[in-house]
Amino acid sequence: MFNRLKGTRDIFGYDSKILDYIRNTFFDIAKKYNYSYIETPIIEEAELFIRSSGETSDIVSKEMYLFKDKGDRNLALRPEGTASIIRAFVENKIDNLQQSKLFYFGPMFRYERPQKGRYRQFLQGGVELIAPKNELNNFEIIKLAYDFLKKLKIENLVLEINNLGSIQTRNEYIKKLKSYFEPYKKDFDELTLSRLEKNVLRILDDKNLAELDFVKNAPKLLDYLTVDEKEQFNSLLNLLKAFNIDYVINPNLVRGLDYYNDIVFEFVSSSEALGTKSTVLAGGRYDGMISEFNGPNLDSIGFAFGVDRIMEIIKNDCQNIEELTDQIDILIGYTSDFDKDEIVKIAYDLRKNFTVHLINQPTTIKNLFKQKFNLNPKLLIFKELNSKPMEIKIKNQELDETIIYSDSSDISKILK
């Protein structure tokens, strides 16, 4: 007897319908915004993620699946999507290394404690907009995320947003923040001490420290933005207001990866499905990554969302989504081998346009109606024993009427 590994899961039945619903909704929204699908390998050189995410990030320090292959290369199962997408963009010279709009969807891997909505193999979707930094491009990414979550009918979401400023602005702020935290370091654990030295911003992002007074009272990066940075940020906030997208400025929001700069944001859910406030979609700008990967000096912004968390929310909060109904279009069967060829031909003709369940063996009228009760089709099509040569009956579930027809095109007319 074999069992799945801890932190993984099998997706089937109702869960698979929710997954299809999320995937199809995301693909539909992304294509409406003219983004192109891209798929990258699930294994990459480990250095790709170490360099982009930062040595002090949780991904690199605690969560990456690392291994050596037979060529003694250091490899990793991809823990997130952005670094792989930018690697692919530069390596393949996508869109001639000019402006590009890309989206992805697939499995990622992180070794963390499994819990509701969190798995060691998890599904993530995301978008990356490679284009000049301005408020309209920033807004497009947030609006795309907003439209996606709204189309999924997810409520109780809060958009939290912050501005990390330019590298120069942030470096000045980091000096002030280090000085501020210095008197408290006697109370820091080993990880927090490491962050104080290597990436002090991560202290602000630590969920265990966030509610402590000395963290709440830390200097705010927004106070150190330049005049131009404040104006650009306010322009984005005005766009959000103009489109009635509510937001909260969270001055301690820094995100967990080193590559972020300027605009960062999260959509946070208060759904009881996850047991606590949880981020379901997050992103921001990462303007330096493309040049760091030996590409041109192009700006970029994107977001990613956890599919598994969204699945939990939909299961708990969104019970009446039409796309998740089990109803099929047609149930079709025959009662004798004499009618088999005719019924099978009709079934396969109808499968060109409709969802059809064909009973692949002779059945009885009683069993057909029992199957009708279980499958709830819109139409039941059958030919009774000893009926006239071309007399096939269509039972309309909604209208509760039976029609006798002699032309297969009649069925299409009824369903349309």
Q: Which residues are annotated as a binding site for L-histidine?
A: 80-82, 110, 124, 128, 255, 259-260
Sign of CA dihedral 78, 83, 87, 89: positive
Evaluated on CA atoms 14, 16, 18, 21, the torsion sign reads negative
Identify the CA nearest to 54 among candidates 252, 177, 202, 207.
202
Separation CA 28–CA 230 (nearest Å): 34
Instruction: Find all residues with CB under 8 Å of 236, minimum gap 6, and list them.
Output: 135, 138, 139, 142, 263
- Residue 298 neighbours by CB distance under 10 Å: 21
CA distances from 208 to 164, 202, 253, 408 (A): 21, 12, 14, 66
Q: Is 188 left (phi over 0), alpha (psi -120 to 50) or beta?
A: beta
Q: Tell me how long the chain is.
A: 416
Written as six digits, the tokens of 248 are 């909260």
CA angle 99, 105, 106 (to 5 degrees): 135
Task: List residues forming the annotated binding site.
Answer: 80-82, 110, 124, 128, 255, 259-260
The two tokens of residue 116 are: 């509701």
Answer whether 329's CB lies under 8 Å from 378's CB: yes
Q: How many CB atoms within 10 Å of residue 403?
A: 15
